[in-house]
């Protein structure tokens, strides 16, 4: 004969007084007429703590049953403190197959309101015949269900599983120097594309630069992992030219289509710009013909790598790092604002002053806690790109004074320190 499973029962013994109502309840009636027959009906050996045979303290065998029992039934009637304590121990040790019951006049403490408590009617000295049969059958059905399924009924494990659902996906790509700025821009744009294509996905994208290696770290809920992987595959096809922006967004999304096309064009511009910068710094470097297809091949290989092992993490709060980051952002923004105000005093071009006013207004609203969405940093980037265009009116208006050039260089340094937090590319300021 195969060994029976066990049902361990947590409850008071004999007649107990419910101090909240003043009623005396014979809890042995509940055990002998309802709980024990129900457990035996489903093939379990039913054991109550007073039936445990032991030679010393009851604590050791009690904890063994709380850990090992196939089912634990806790009768919380009369607000029995021992029963509440032992129920808490079981919830901490086992994620499932725990049943809480009580007579229907119990007023449980607030902290246990989120636990399902099955109720029965107790008459005090006895329990009615019909109620015995009704509740016994309810316990039988409940035990059969929880033994067949893997549902978690412990609030402790429910909370842990809810917290332990974040998944981190890591893509690491090493770029040759001439492709670095273009590749960084392409990877940084993925976060914007993901939010526009799949606005319901809760994901954060971080870009980490380490020499010529760029790491794109995507953190999302486990349930959204397949959507992020799908978006990476789709972005890969766009970069390789196998999917056109119009096909990806749909013909009606004109703004998103134009933005994506502009980002792809900017990649080619960054390649050419970086090529000139490297040639300027390294005169012995032979010129190489730079093709967008080479950049696409590098990024495609990186994005299409098999996903690394999933890392399940619980939230970690690092107060020191957050405060340090906020302090750096605050200082850089303030320095940039002061440089803009000084610059407005020395330039004569109304167009340039108007653009500086626009950047100043947006940058003044920058929030160090939400730097990712800063419009001010993005507008500062556009302004500096216009300054770098030596044929433009903005560049000509500023290059007439040495003080203007010095202020622009300070602004460029401020921007390049803020850009990584915003997912924006650095700007090589050559003037």
The domain of 275 spans 166-315
The pLDDT value given to residue 35 = 96
3-state secondary structure of 152: coil
| Domain co-membership, 172 together with 152 | no
Structural domain ending residue among the three candidates 159, 178, 195: 159
Tell me which residues of the chain have a pLDDT lower than 70.
1-3, 54-58, 110-111, 113, 159-167, 221-224, 274, 278-293, 304-324, 390, 428-431
What is the pairing mode between strands 312-313 and 98-103? unpaired
Q: What is the pLDDT of residue 30?
A: 95
Q: Which of 109, 143, 159 is the last residue of a domain?
A: 159
Q: Both 11 and 40 in a single domain?
A: yes
Same-domain status, 81 and 177 = no
Residues 155, 29: one domain? Answer: yes
pLDDT of residue 247: 83
In a shared domain, residues 322 and 177: no
**Do 108 and 171 reside in the same domain of the chain?**
no
Beta bridge partners of 172: 215
- Beta-carbon contacts of 53 under 8 Å, excluding residues fewer than 6 positions away, are none
Last residue within a domain, chosen from 121, 144, 159: 159
What tokens appear for 313 in the block?
């993490």
Q: Looking at residue 14, what DSSP letter applies?
A: S
Residue-level pLDDT at 131:
94
My answer on whether 142 and 224 are in the same domain is no
Q: How many domains does the chain have?
A: 3
Q: Is the same domain home to 155 and 203?
A: no
Task: Tell me the per-residue pLDDT of 160-216, one tens digit each, with 9 for 90 and over.
Answer: 655 545 667 777 787 787 777 777 778 888 788 778 878 777 788 888 877 778 777
- Measure Cα distances from 240 to 174, 200, 237, 257, 262 in Å: 18, 26, 5, 16, 16
Q: Clarify whether residues 104 and 250 are in a common domain.
A: no
Confidence at residue 62, expressed as pLDDT on a 0 to 100 scale: 86
- Going by the DSSP 8-state scheme, the letter that residue 107 receives in this structure is -
| pLDDT for the residue numbered 38 | 96
């Amino acid at each position: 004969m195969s060994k029976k499973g066990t049902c361990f029962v947590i409850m008071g013994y004999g007649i107990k007084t419910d101090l909240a109502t003043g009623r005396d309840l014979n809890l042995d009636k509940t055990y002998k007429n309802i709980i024990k027959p129900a457990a035996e009906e489903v093939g379990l050996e039913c054991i109550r703590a007073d039936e445990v045979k032991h030679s010393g303290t009851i604590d050791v065998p009690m904890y063994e049953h709380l850990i090992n029992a196939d089912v634990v039934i806790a009768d919380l009637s009369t607000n029995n403190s021992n029963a509440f304590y032992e129920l808490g121990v079981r919830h901490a040790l086992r994620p499932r197959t725990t049943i809480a019951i009580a007579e229907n006049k119990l007023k449980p403490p607030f902290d246990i309101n989120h636990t399902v408590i099955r109720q029965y009617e107790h008459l005090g000295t006895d329990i009615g015949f019909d109620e015995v049969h009704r509740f016994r059958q309810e316990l039988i059905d409940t035990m059969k269900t929880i033994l067949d399924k893997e549902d978690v009924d412990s609030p402790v494990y429910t909370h842990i599983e809810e917290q332990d659902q974040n998944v981190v996906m890591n893509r690491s790509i090493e770029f040759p120097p001439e492709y670095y700025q273009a590749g960084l821009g392409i990877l940084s744009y993925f976060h914007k594309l993901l939010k526009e294509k799949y606005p319901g996905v809760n994901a954060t994208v971080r870009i980490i630069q380490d020499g010529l290696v760029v790491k794109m770290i995507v953190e999302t809920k486990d349930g959204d992992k397949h959507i992020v992987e799908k978006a990476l595959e789709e972005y890969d096809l766009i970069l390789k030219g196998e999917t056109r922006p119009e096909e990806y967004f749909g013909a009606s999304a004109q703004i998103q289509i134009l933005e994506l096309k502009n980002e792809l064009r900017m990649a080619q511009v960054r390649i050419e710009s970086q090529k000139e910068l490297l040639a300027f710094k390294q005169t012995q470097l032979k010129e190489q013909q730079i093709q967008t297809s080479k950049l696409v091949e590098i990024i495609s290989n990186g994005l299409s790598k098999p996903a690394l092992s999933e890392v399940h993490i619980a939230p970690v709060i690092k107060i020191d790092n957050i405060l340090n980051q906020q302090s750096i952002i605050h200082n850089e923004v303030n320095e940039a604002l002061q440089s803009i105000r000084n610059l407005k005093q020395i330039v004569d071009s109304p167009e340039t002053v108007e653009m500086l006013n626009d950047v100043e207004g947006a940058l003044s609203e920058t929030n160090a806690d939400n730097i990712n969405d800063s419009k001010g940093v993005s507008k500062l980037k556009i302004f500096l790109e216009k300054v770098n265009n030596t044929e433009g009116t903005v560049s000509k208006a500023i290059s007439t004074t040495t003080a203007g050039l010095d202020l622009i260089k300070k602004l460029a340094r401020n921007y390049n320190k803020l850009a990584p937090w915003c997912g924006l590319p650095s700007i090589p300021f050559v003037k």
